Amino acid sequence: EITIPTLHDGTLAGMGRHVMSVVVQYAPYELKGGWEASREAFADHVVKTIAAFAPNLPDQIVAREMLAPPDLEREFGMTGGHWHHGDLAVDQMLMLRPVPGFAQYASPVPGLYLCGAGTHPGGGVMGAAGMNAAKRILAMEAPS
């Protein structure tokens, strides 16, 4: 997932510059040798992959920050560094999020509903999980 917030808010970077955010899914929490040994190579690989579609990108980068899953956990409280607040495993995808028995925004506690990055459709700042949870609540709590 690539976003360039400066396309909408130029105050985030200097004149004529942009900020690009790249989220790479499924990066492992632990690497053989640790993230410190692989951090720059991983970031280089991501830039190289994007450069296949945007060839001038590498020459435009003046600074970068690479946050590995342990960094996301430490800085933002994302357990395991999961952007979606939990594994995107087969038994936890789509309408089964976050886990079976707690899916489709319901919980075993009457009147307690779930929303957020751990519920369908997942992380990101789009509000879809909240909207879906609100619809579920209205459907379940509506007077007969």
Asked if 55 and 115 sit in the same domain, the reply is no
pTM exceeding the 0.75 threshold for the entire prediction: no
pLDDT digits (tens, 9 = 90+) for 30-39: 999 999 999 9
- CA–CA distance, 94 with 137 (Å, rounded to integer): 19
Q: Whole domain around residue 103: which residue ranges?
A: 90-141
Asked if 67 and 97 sit in the same domain, the reply is no
Q: In the predicted model, is pLDDT for residue 124 greater than 70?
A: no
Q: Which tokens hold the place of 63? A: 């600074």
Asked if 33 and 15 sit in the same domain, the reply is yes
pLDDT digits (tens, 9 = 90+) for 20-77: 999 888 788 999 999 999 999 999 999 999 999 999 999 999 999 999 999 999 998 8
Q: How many domains does the chain have?
A: 2
Report whether 50 contacts 2 (CB < 8 A). yes
- Identity (one letter) of the amino acid at 111? G
What pLDDT band is residue 1 in, cutting at 50, 70 and 90?
A: confident
Asked if 18 and 61 sit in the same domain, the reply is yes
Asked if 64 and 114 sit in the same domain, the reply is no
Asked if 57 and 100 sit in the same domain, the reply is no
Asked if 7 and 65 sit in the same domain, the reply is yes
